[in-house]
Every structure is written in structure tokens, then in C-alpha cells.
Amino acid sequence: MKILAPVNSPKEVNCLIDAGCDEIYCGLITSEWKKNYTNIASPNRREWTSANIAGFNQLKEVVDIAHSRRIPVFLTLNALYTEQQYPHLFKQIDEAIEIGVDAFIVADIGLLLALRKMKINIEIHISTGGTTFNSETARFYKELGGSRIVLPRHLRVDEIEELVQAAEDISFEVFILNSGCKNIDGFCTFHHGVNEVLHPRLWNMPKKLNFDRALLNWIRRLPGPLAERLRGNVFGIDSACLLDYRVSVYPDGKIDKKEMKLLKERISRSFSLLYGADPCGGCSLADFRKIGIHSVKIVGRNYSTKKKVLDVKFLRSILNILDEKELAEFEFKRYVKDLYKQVYGLDCGEICYYFE
């Protein structure tokens, strides 16, 4: 099983490879694209400049360094595009192919059809934005040229196992660390990155200094009730999904009032800064290894290099222990939680990608 790590600068490539990653992915927003569409209409669903490589010269550096160490590089082109954007998009595709990227990560069906018509000799990975929730969808994307599918983070481990067993001759990738979201990527139409347009200097500097991650880690150390009161709108909204929504739960006859209350509370709490604070799927790595998952993906292109390196080392240590010895389930989970605290200096907090 491979570790897929994010980069937003050529300077990070050797650090992450030294830490133990097997694959690299990145996105870029060119000055031409930003001039025409702003960062909100990012070509790769990461709307912050700090999350992206600045241009094709830097992309070439990333590819050259990674290839010199036999590590593949994947380029994210996983937005949904308008017809007017396609000429700009195809220019990016041509340049990326010439540079030598190893795969495109794609969600737009129109783009998939265009790439198949172009008969390009490059792998196509289906983004989580493709919303593959069953094996029929997997087969559909395979017919369109997909060789790997990034599964949505909302599937349970048993559902992933069933899907993988039913879909043949295609590899699968799952999220494993960071940036959890209650919304399904392929169905989300919220705009992100608005503050970068409204307040570019004020908003970019904290992200470049990794202030947002420091803030979230500080919140996680506060008592639970106090942390939950720190809603997203206290610090300024950058995404519509952090607004303070009124939540209602409608009964379906299968859950009692107590369960409904707990469900409502959980959904309400999810509209906050704390909810997406670095969920972890480390305890599921043993299951994913048995299932035959090809790659586990670290989210967070805009995170600091230090954070990315820690993430890769954390996952590499877990995979190494799985190679070295066979642990009982409770022993393995205890190892992962102890390692989490050792690496990050925080209790895992049961912020899990894959709840049992």
C-alpha cells in the first residue's frame, strides 16, 4: 500500500520522499487562470493560492526531482468546468504532459470524454469529486479511461471492502489524514476562498505562516464545551459550510427520540472550525491493507512542510509495524493512538475518518 503526499512547492519534494512517501500530487493556478476566473474558480478545487504551485516552471521542478528518485507525480484537474474554460484547461493539459506528469486526477465527465478522444498516454485517476459510491460507478469510470478511483471519505470500511471486491481491474485510493468535511465533494456547490479575493494580503499571510493550523490545534486543547462554542463565524467565514446553520432532523420511523437528539447535536456541531480539524484514518490501515487498497491519500496541500513530513512519517511507521508483526486489533489501535500522540503532541480525540 502506497502513501500519496501533497506538495505546493518544489522545496518539499525531497523532504517528503525522505520521510517515506511513495507518490506525490499537486495542483497549480496560473496567473492567467486567476486573471480570468479568480482563485474561487480554481481548476483543482483548492481555492487558496497557498495550496497551489505557482506555475509550470515550478511544476517541472517538482516532476524532475520526483522522477530522479523514481516517484510519480499526479496533477489535480478535478473541478467541474464551463465550456469557456476548456481552451485554458487544454493548454494546462498540454504543458503538463510535456513536463512529464504521470497522471491527471479528474472529476469532470466532459473532460474525461475529451481526454479519451485525445488518446493521451497518461493515467487518469477519478477524483473523489466523481462520487463513486458503488461498483457500477467504478465500472462506468473504467470505461471512460479511469485506472484508479479516489473513494469518497463518507464510505465505511465494510462498504469500501464490498465495492473493491465487486470492481475488477481498477485500483482504489482512500483518504487517510486531514481536512474532514460533512459534505460530499462531488455534490458540494459551496464557494470557498472568497476572503482571498476580498482581502488578499490579510488572508494569505496567516495561511503562509500556517496560522490557521496553529489556531485549530489551540482550539483542540480547550475543554470540549468551550471549543464547540468557537463557531466558524467568530473568526471570519471563508466557506459557506462554516455558517451557523439551524439543523432539523426528520424521523424515518427507525430511530427513537434519544437517537434523533444525538444525531441533531452531532450535525449541529459539524458546522464549526473544530469539526474538520485533521481527522485520522490510521486505525483503518490494517483493514485497507487486507482489502487491497492501492494508496492512502494525505490531504492538505496548503499545510506546512513540517506538518506534511509528520503525516508521512506517522503513516510510514504504521505500515512498517504491519509489515513487521501481526497484532491483535486492540493492540494495533493502541499502537496507532500512542504513535499519534508521540508524533503530533495531541490525543487523537477520536476524530476518525472511518467510524466503526
Rounded to whole angstroms, the Cα distance separating 25 from 3 reads: 11
Looking at 235, 269, 303, the residue that finishes a domain is 269
- 84 and 24, same structural domain? yes
Q: Could you tell me if 327 and 206 lie in one domain?
A: no
Question: Is residue 336 predicted with pLDDT exceeding 80?
Answer: yes
Total tally of structural domains belonging to the chain? 2
**How many whole angstroms separate alpha carbon 143 and alpha carbon 140?**
5
For residues 87 and 224, state if they share a domain.
Answer: no
Instruction: List pLDDT tens digits, range 302-326.
Output: 888 999 999 999 999 999 999 998 8
- Tell me phi and psi for residue 297, to 5 degrees: -110, 125
Residue 89 has pLDDT above 70, yes or no: yes
Q: What is the DSSP letter of 187?
A: G
Contact residues for 349 (Cβ-Cβ < 8 A; gap 6+): 220
Residues facing residue 15 across a β-bridge: none
Q: Which helix (H) or strand (E) holds 56?
A: helix 56-68
Does residue 350 sit within a domain? no
136-187 pLDDT, tens digit per residue, is 999 999 999 999 999 998 899 999 999 999 988 899 999 999 877 777 888 8
309: closest CA among 3, 39, 100, 40?
A: 3
Pull the grid cell for residue 123. Answer: 493515467
166 and 240 in one domain?
no
Q: Answer with the one of 248, 269, 290 that is the final residue of a domain.
A: 269
pLDDT tens, residue by residue, 33-53: 888 877 777 878 877 777 889
Domain boundary among 225, 246, 269: 269
Per-residue confidence (pLDDT) for residue 261, from 0 to 100: 80
Whole-number Å distance between alpha carbons of 321 and 327: 9
Q: Tell me the pLDDT tens digit for each residue of 78-87.
A: 988 888 889 8
Does 112 score more than 70 pLDDT?
Answer: yes
Looking at the fold, whether 249 and 106 belong to one and the same domain comes out as no
pLDDT of residue 154: 86
pLDDT of residue 233: 44
230, 337: one domain: no
The reply to whether 134 and 232 lie within a common domain is no
Range of the domain at 13: 2-190+277-344
Note whether 253 and 140 are same-domain residues: no
Residue 333 included in any domain:
yes
Residue 229 confidence (pLDDT):
59
52 lies in a domain? yes
**pLDDT attached to residue 32:** 85
- Are 254 and 289 part of one and the same domain? no
pLDDT at 100: 95
| 78 occurs within a structural domain | yes
Q: Which residue has the higher pLDDT, 182 or 343?
A: 343
Q: Could you write out the DSSP letters of every residue in 229-295?
A: H--HHHH--SBGGGS---------SSS-HHHHHHHHHHHHHTSSTTTTS--B-GGGHHHHHHHT--E
Does residue 356 form part of some domain? no
CATH assignment at residue 125: 3.20.20.70
C-alpha cell at 277: 480539524
351 lies in some domain: no
Phi, psi of 285 (to 5 degrees): -60, -35
Indicate the range of 83-92, 102-111, 288-297 predicted with least confidence. 83-92
Q: Are residues 8 and 84 in the same domain?
A: yes
Question: What type of residue sits at position 126?
Answer: I
252 and 290 within one domain: no
Helix 86-99 with 109-118: angle, nearest 10 deg: 50
Task: Please report whether residue 216 resides in a domain.
Answer: yes
Q: Please check the confidence at residue 62 and state whether its pLDDT lies above 80.
A: yes
> Going by C-beta distance under 8 Å and a sequence separation of 6 or more, which residues neighbour residue 135?
162, 163, 166, 167
d(CA 62, CA 71): 10
For residue 355, tell me if it sits in a domain: no
Please tell me whether residues 51 and 184 are part of one structural domain. yes
Mean pLDDT of the chain: 85
Residue 236, all three cell numbers: 471570519
